[in-house]
Amino acid sequence: MAAIEKVKMNKLSPNPWNKGVTAQETFAHNLLEHSAVPTFVIDSRHRVIVWNKACEELTGMKTSEVLGRNNQWKPFYPKKRPVLADIVLEGSKEDLSHLYAKCVRSPLTPDGLQAEGWYESLNGMDRFLIFDAAPVRDNEGKIVAAIQTLRDITARKRAEDSLRTLSQAIEQTPMAIVITDREGTIEYVNPHFTKITGYSKDETIGKNPRIIKSGRQSREFYRELWETILSGNEWHGEFHNKRKNDELYWEDASISPVKNDAGEITHFVGVKEDISERKWAEEELKISHEQVQLLLESTAEAIYGISLLGRCTFANQACARLLGYKHPDELLDKHMHKLIHHKHKDGTPFPPEECRMNSIFRGEGAGCHVDDEVLWRADGTSFDAEYWAYPQRSGNHVVGGVVTFFDITERKRAEEQLHQARLYLSDKNRQLENERTLAHKVLEYILPQQFELPGFTTAIMFRPSDRIGGDFFDAWSDGDCTHFLIGDISGHSTSAALMMAVSKGIFRSLGYTMNDPVEIVTAANRMLCPMMLDSRMFLTLVYVLFDRRDNSLRVVSAGHNPVYHLDGSEIFTIDSTGPAIGWDEEDSWEPVCCRFDPGMLLFLYTDGLTEAKDSAGIEFGDKLLLELREFCSPEALVDGIIEAAEKFRNGAFEDDVTLFAIRREQL
């Protein structure tokens, strides 16, 4: 009987010393039975003849439940199928991929098989097993049995899977990972490190991280880094490093020490993120903030922001100055209604719920424009103000507001003067002579013969063709800007003088709230067009705005004569740039810009000068150009030109004549 048959007989017999069973066979049986390796054996008819204790413990199936039966599959599979020993016993060479995730020839025996896989709820838990099965042959080489061993490598498999997952995570993470030894020599970098730096793994391993050092950070920076990590602590900070192509970039990095079981530092692990775009965005945001701040500080408009609670969130210098504070910081977090808007002009209380500034928080439209209220200064005085309040939104929600305002005291005074002038003219229009007398008085009041403007010397000559005329001129300073204008209303007598007064009042009123000559002329045109179209009149005008901050002139001419710009002996002509005022409300203009440095002169005049004719009907025209070079002061210039024109004309002028000369002085 073959050895396996004797083992089977011994297993079935309660006495291992049965007749026919040798001591050697008994020893072999006991060796299998008490082996620490889970093992079972099946005979040629696929019946279990050995199911050792280790196999019982692994599978949870007792020997008595399987011995002599062919149910060795039960602990592993939900329904009957061959186990690896069955396949070896049959000597099958078919593809086993439908039975095992992995099955190969045994590395231990030439005729054996090895398979592995996960087995759910095997004796109460999921296990990863390796099966090794080999045939048992008799003396003639015939397969008489098959032996199968089981190895539970669940812990190792899970550790390998965790290690593989960790390795894949490190390889695929969008963070750069660097591992160095204690001396800083690189032992590992992940693919993202090579992507960021441009250095391949072969170019990096064995090198020091200083290969990406840019030199933009101090020795003290690196000294503190090494002191931190060598003391066993994590370091976190930002590197300004350099890629292989010499491009600079920013990293946010954490470097941690790695210790062995004895607590000794053996390696360092660096985790880095390329934050270049974030740093650039922060820098652009900083620049943008500085530009906004510069814009706020350079504008003549007073601007402040308020929170939903009505407290100041920001203010510019113009705001502080107009409200009588030394610095905008004095306004921060102050309740602005209680500070500057708490009373009406007559001193009566101004309830917050009636404040039109606060209406922007009540969902009442997109904002408000108010010009009939006062604001209060730090010293307790008030001033007439024109303000605009707009809500600040984040998405669909109002999160605050912005208020801009001007001190319009002068404009109100001018409007009041204009109003009084209109009333005065209206009361005296019963008799033409009285009206003309009154118009002449108004003309003298509205058109002063000289201006006192800091930094300028001016000279004016006004010769109306009759007691009253349609020419007008004006000049005033408003902070860093100084305004000059000269105009000529078509027609003569009272109607022209009245329209002149209205026009002058409108321009001065607009000029106190605007610092753009194009906007001023455009707004005036829209206001004057209905009146001028009805009276069939129009206005030619030159509006000049000087900005002391950059020594610039912006000139807008509405169908008027050229402006002459004198720089020493050089004469430049600033030509007309647009239509006359009063023709079309939709007309537009463009400015002409140039410098106006100390010592330079401007000469403005109305067409009554150039259209003056001699006895032969020849116009005076541009002859004044020949005269301009001879004069160095505004007064001499005006006197010289008018004298030359009077000699040419040899008599009174047929039209109103106005000359206006301005010289910029050195402050």
The DSSP string of 19-36 is: TT--HHHHHHHHHHHT-S
Residue ending a domain, among 129, 159, 189, is 159
- The whole-model pTM stands at 0.38
Q: What count of other Cβ atoms lies within 10 Å of the Cβ of residue 594?
A: 16
Which tens digit of pLDDT belongs to each residue from 330-350?
Answer: 999 999 999 999 999 999 999
Classified as helix, coil or strand, 478 is strand
Q: How confident is the model at residue 627 (pLDDT cuts 50, 70, 90)?
A: low
What is the rounded average pLDDT of the residues 551-562? 92
Q: Residue 468 sits in a domain of what CATH number?
A: 3.60.40.10
Q: What is the mean pLDDT of residues 557-581?
A: 86
Our measurement of the distance from residue 146's CA atom to the centroid of its chain's CA atoms, rounded to an integer in Å, reads 75
Residue 427 lies in a domain: no
Residues 461 and 582 in one domain: yes
| Pair 454, 585 in one domain | yes
Q: Do 143 and 190 sit in the same domain of this protein?
A: no
pLDDT of residue 75: 92
Residues 58 and 194 both lie in one domain = no
Asked whether residue 434 is assigned to any structural domain, the reply reads no
What is d(CA 221, CA 239) in angstroms, rounded to the nearest whole number?
10
Q: Which residue has the higher pLDDT, 67 or 667?
A: 67
Q: Is the pLDDT of residue 140 over 60?
A: yes
DSSP-derived letter for residue 449 is: S
Single out the residue in 228, 245, 279 at which a domain terminates.
279
Q: Is there a domain that residue 34 lies in? A: yes
- pLDDT tens for 80-133 read 999 999 999 988 777 888 888 888 988 878 889 999 989 988 888 999 999 999
- Residue 514, domain member (yes or no): no
pLDDT tier at 461 (50, 70, 90 boundaries)?
confident
Instruction: Report pLDDT for 470.
Output: 73
Quote the pLDDT of residue 498: 79
The 3-state DSSP class for residue 423 equals helix
Q: d(Cα 175, Cα 207) in Å, to the nearest integer? A: 20
Residue 115 and residue 180 in one domain: no
Give which of 66, 79, 78 is closest to 39, Cα–Cα. Answer: 66
Would you say how long the chain is, in residues?
667
pLDDT for position 10: 40
- Report the candidate in 37, 36, 35, 45 with the shortest Cα–Cα distance to residue 8: 45
> Are 263 and 339 in a shared domain?
no
Q: Do the domain assignments include residue 503?
A: no
* Shared-domain flag, residues 217 and 111: no
Identity of the highest mean pLDDT range in 181-185, 394-398, 495-499: 181-185
Percentage of the chain with pLDDT > 70?
88
pLDDT digit string, tens, across residues 40-88: 999 999 999 999 999 999 999 999 999 999 999 999 999 999 999 999 9
pLDDT one-digit tens code per residue, 143-154: 999 999 999 988
pLDDT of residue 5: 40
pLDDT in tens, 283-310: 776 766 666 666 666 677 889 988 888 8
Is 244 within 8 Å of 221 (Cβ atoms)? no
Kindly state whether residues 151 and 272 are assigned to the same domain. Answer: no
Residue 236 placed within a domain: yes
- Tell me how many domains the chain contains: 4
Asked whether residue 437 is assigned to any structural domain, the reply reads no
Residues 229 and 305 in one domain: no
- Residue with the larger pLDDT of the pair 654 and 372: 372
The residues with which 258 forms a beta bridge, in sequence order, are 267
> What pLDDT score was predicted for residue 615?
79
Same domain? For 155 and 185 the reply is no
CA dist 492 to 63, 442, 468, 649, Å?
132, 15, 8, 20
Q: Which of 238-242, 389-393, 429-433, 622-626 has the lowest mean pLDDT?
A: 429-433
431 within a domain of the structure (yes/no): no
Statement to judge: residues 152 and 28 lie in one domain: yes
Range of the domain at 26: 3-159
Give the CATH number, domain containing residue 86.
Answer: 3.30.450.20
